[in-house]
Each structure stands twice: as C-alpha cells, then as structure tokens.
Amino acid sequence: MIFQMALLTFQNVSKIYPPYFKALININLKIYKGDFVILTGPTGSGKTTLLKLIYREEKPTSGEIFYEDVPYSKLKKKELSLFRQNLGIIFQDYKLFPELTVYENIKISLVLSQKFVKNDKFLIYEYLERFKLSEKAQKKVKELSGGEQQKVGIIRGIIRDPEILIADEPTGNLDPSSINEILEILKDFHEKGKTIILATHDPIILNQNLGKTIRLNRGELVEDV
C-alpha cells in the first residue's frame, strides 16, 4: 500500500469555552484527501466547534491540528490564507448579507476568494439555474425563504470550486426533494476528487452511506467508521 499523508490530523484536541465548558474532549482523527466525512451527533455535541477549529475561527485549548504535516500553530499568515483559499465553507447560519441581492451575495464570495473567473456573471447564473434560483437573482436575501437562503449559502460555499468543502448542516431548512438535489450536487463535487466534511443529523443523508461517519457525543468522539 502506498503511504498517504492525511490532509488534516487532530491530535489530542480539546476545546474549552471560557470559563470551563468542555465542547471537545481529546479528539484524535485523520481526514484524507478525497474523503467524504459525515460528522454527526446530537445538538450541542460539538460538531460546529470541530468545524470551526478546522477553518480556524476557533483555536484548540490543547492538542494540535495538522494540515498535511504542518501544525496549524506553525502556519504563517500567508500559508494560512492560502489554506483558506482552498477551503469552501457552508455556514450553519448562512452568513449572508440580508440587504444585498442574491447575485451580489454570491459575487462577493467570488471577489473575496481572489480566484480569477473569466465570466463570473455566467458562472453565477449557471449555479442559480442549478439550484432553481435564477428568478430570485435580483431579490434581496432578506426577501427569501429560509430554504432559499440556505441554497444561496451552499452556492457561496462551492462556487469557487474549493479543494476542501466544509458544510455545517447544509440541509437543515430544506424539504426532502431539495435535500436530494443538494446531495446529488455534493456527490458530483466529491467525484471530482474533492474532500467534503459535512455536519448533519439529517436521516436522509445519514442513510446514504456516503463515506466515513464520525459521531460526537458531548464533545467526545464515540464512533469513527
């Protein structure tokens, strides 16, 4: 067997929110390039916290996370920003600008990514079409339904074609047929060789056997299949 270096490694990682709430306790795990990781567990078990540690919105209280073989704590600012450019994030709370239009919200994420896109208008409409949102392009985000906003959040996460996609409950507000559509989109994305880390308790997704399942309970990793 050829040695494959893990893309991300958690080594004895704990996260304590001040003053003393243990959100994650001694987590050890490895994620490889091309994995489709499903992170599950009850509300409050630490899924979002684990994802935030990956995209560095939070830092571990103890332990270390490695990107390939480099500890995060040793990543220089420039390396960290490069790493973030390879990362697409679908936030549990969408993080959209309510006063801007759907189109503008997506455009901003393309501009911020600094990735050169030849015809971004065409690309944005292609995605809107795929997500059945073309008619809403010029509507303000605050005028959309929760599920429609969630779809815009998903487009923002994947439109830059990142190498690693972090998706935090991306289907929480969607009906079963929309969930299945999103799943097809995520599967296609994964088939291009991308790495996906998806937090969910959606039974439709959990029943699909998409890849490795990691289960958290009260901050502890109880199952790593």
Positions that interact with ligand ATP (CB under 6 A): 17, 21, 23, 41, 43-49, 92
Q: Which one of ligand ATP, Mg ion, none is in contact with 153 (Cβ closer than 5 to 8 A by kind)?
A: none
Q: Supply the minimum distance, in Å, between the C-beta of residue 32 and Mg ion.
A: 23
Q: Supply the minimum distance, in Å, between the C-beta of residue 24 and ligand ATP.
A: 8
Q: Supply the minimum distance, in Å, between the C-beta of residue 11 and ligand ATP.
A: 19
Using the rule CB under 5 A, which residue among 48, 109, 150, 200 binds Mg ion?
48
Q: Supply the minimum distance, in Å, between the C-beta of residue 61 and ligand ATP.
A: 12
Q: Segment contacting Mg ion (CB under 5 A): 28-36, 46-54, 120-128, 154-162?
A: 46-54
Q: How far apart are CA 209 and CA 213, in angstroms?
A: 8
Q: Which one of Mg ion, ligand ATP, none is in contact with 156 (Cβ closer than 5 to 8 A by kind)?
A: none
84's tokens: 């973030």
Q: Segment contacting Mg ion (CB under 5 A): 84-92, 119-127, 182-190, 214-222?
A: 84-92
Q: Which one of Mg ion, ligand ATP, none is in contact with 88 (Cβ closer than 5 to 8 A by kind)?
A: none
